[in-house]
Amino acid sequence: MSSPTTPMELYGKVAAQGNTVRLLKSNKATEEEINAAVKELLALKLDYKTLTGQEYKVGIPPTNSTPVNNNGLAVEEDGGDYVDPWTVQTSSAKGVDYDKLIVRFGSNKIDQDLINQIEHVTGQKAHHFLRRGIFFSHRDMHQILDAFKTKKSFYLYTGRGPSSESMHMGHLIPFIFTKWLQDVFDVPLVIQLTDDEKYLWKDITLEQAYKYAVENTKDIIACGFDVNKTFIFSDLDYMGQSPGFYQNVVKIQKHVTFNQVKGIFGFGDSDCIGKISFPAIQAAPSFSTSFPQIFNGRKDIQCLIPCAIDQDPYFRMTRDVAPRIGYPKPALLHSVFFPALQGAQTKMSASDTNSSIFLTDTPKQIKTKVNKHAFSGGKDTIEEHQQFGGNCDVDVSYMYLTFFLEDDEKLEKIKQDYSSGKLLTGELKKILIETLQPIIAAHQIQRKQVTDEMVKQFMTPRKLAFDF
């Protein structure tokens, strides 16, 4: 292999080739085809050993690739898990140990009691993301429920860093859940596109970052948000449209030191001052005065933030600052990470097209990606699989179904059949493909209907359908 490759990239290639071999075998391909694929697999395993000094092991990524965060500081966390807003890595094929993360971050587990309360006050069945532990952690959700019970207002805030024009399925998770929250609670929603962050972190122009923000907005609108209840904004635009937003940014920036952002985000002396001050810009929408046009200048409206757990450092900082500048602390609902096709060890990357299903993928691309790249918890031969059964804990196809197959009973049956060996890997993948294809197709139809005029409407600072 002549091209330079990282251990992690090579690990992904070996895993993908292993999948190919398995598929060929279960599809009863010719001996010649299978032998060629096995030969390629063995060559890749040898490359892997040469590069890493370790044998390739299924589900165990290269251990010498201790994650190096953006600032060149090597970081090791307990259990081999590393989570910050830019890096998510774990040595376990099951993914990050979320119970440990709750302890380390000091948040609270969403337990059955809280889920019952949510169902009780809203009169709705809890979303399957709640029922299945996909949103698994929270801060102050009880306050939000108390507010809702006493008809006190709150609002929702979520966001996205527009790192490219296309979004993948994992990016939909917070929006699907936020849409459900908006439907059951009927509250205002603000959605931040941190195009300024992407400009600061990536090698792109301001114009590109803004273009990504607008394109991503179309995908977000396609999730079905109500224009009368939702304000979507690009930082690059909105900072120049509302003195209230900038004034909150400055207030936050006065109350956070370089030492603090160094501790929370790992910034270093050679980082640009834009990165160093950016956390205040992600924090500011947590305060209702950042949106005077929506909240009429009221500063006491609490905020509820549904987001992936890697964004929590921003909001730990925000919650620390809030009382010092006279604002309520935002409440949070944290989700697990959506696993990459290659396995739950890493967060998906919008820049690696094979690591995820994109919202622009054709039915054929979805089929090929799942078949070729989705990490399998199945055994190498049909005989072994039928004898020992597959492992749902590490099987990415099964994991994806927990996100996108709403039918609890059907999902449970798939789990039993796969674990017992009755359901083969190819069959499981087929179920996933047939689950994803219509979802993506429907999204694409929705997105096509999003006009520039609609984008403009959602992105115009204005009063929403709530009186404050």
Are the C-beta atoms of 238 and 245 separated by less than 8 Å?
yes
Query: From the CB of 352, what's the least distance to a second copy, in Å?
Result: 25
CB nearer a second copy, residue 182 or residue 318: 318
- Burial (Cβ within 10 Å: 0-12, 13-18, ≥19) of residue 240: exposed
Whether the CA torsion 153, 107, 276, 175 is positive or negative: it is: negative
Neighbours of 68 (CB within 10 A): 12
Element (H, E) at 419: helix 408-420
Cα separation, 256 vs 277, whole angstroms: 9
CB nearer a second copy, residue 196 or residue 395: 196
Query: From the CB of 252, what's the least distance to a second copy, in Å?
Result: 8
User: Quick one: tokens of 272?
Assistant: 């640009």
CB nearer a second copy, residue 132 or residue 255: 255
Query: From the CB of 168, what's the least distance to a second copy, in Å?
Result: 26
- Angle formed by the axes of helices 7-26 and 425-448, nearest 10°: 110
- Helix, strand, or coil here: 265? helix
CB nearer a second copy, residue 298 or residue 413: 298
Query: From the CB of 274, what's the least distance to a second copy, in Å?
Result: 3
182 CA to centre of own chain:
19
Cα separation, 341 vs 170, whole angstroms: 11
- The contact set with a second copy (CB under 8 A) reads 196, 199-200, 206, 236-237, 239-247, 250-251, 253-259, 261-262, 267-274, 276-277, 279-280
CB nearer a second copy, residue 64 or residue 270: 270
Query: From the CB of 199, what's the least distance to a second copy, in Å?
Result: 6
Closest by alpha carbon to 166, among 447, 458, 452, 460? 447
Query: From the CB of 266, what's the least distance to a second copy, in Å?
Result: 13
Closest by alpha carbon to 436, among 170, 218, 159, 220? 170
Q: Please identify which residue in the block is written with the tokens 């620390």.
A: 320
CB nearer a second copy, residue 250 or residue 445: 250
Residue burial 390-423, b: 16+ Cβ < 10 Å; e: rest: bbbebbbbbbbbbbbbeeeeebeebbebbbebeb
CB nearer a second copy, residue 237 or residue 395: 237
Query: From the CB of 256, what's the least distance to a second copy, in Å?
Result: 5
Query: From the CB of 269, what's the least distance to a second copy, in Å?
Result: 5
Quote the DSSP letter at residue 337. Answer: P
Whether the CA torsion 85, 91, 94, 97 is positive or negative: it is: negative
User: Quick one: tokens of 197?
Assistant: 């962050």
Cα separation, 390 vs 381, whole angstroms: 11
CB nearer a second copy, residue 247 or residue 349: 247
Cα separation, 411 vs 432, whole angstroms: 11
Query: From the CB of 407, what's the least distance to a second copy, in Å?
Result: 46
CB nearer a second copy, residue 264 or residue 439: 264
Query: From the CB of 302, what's the least distance to a second copy, in Å?
Result: 21
Cα separation, 75 vs 167, whole angstroms: 29
CB nearer a second copy, residue 204 or residue 396: 204
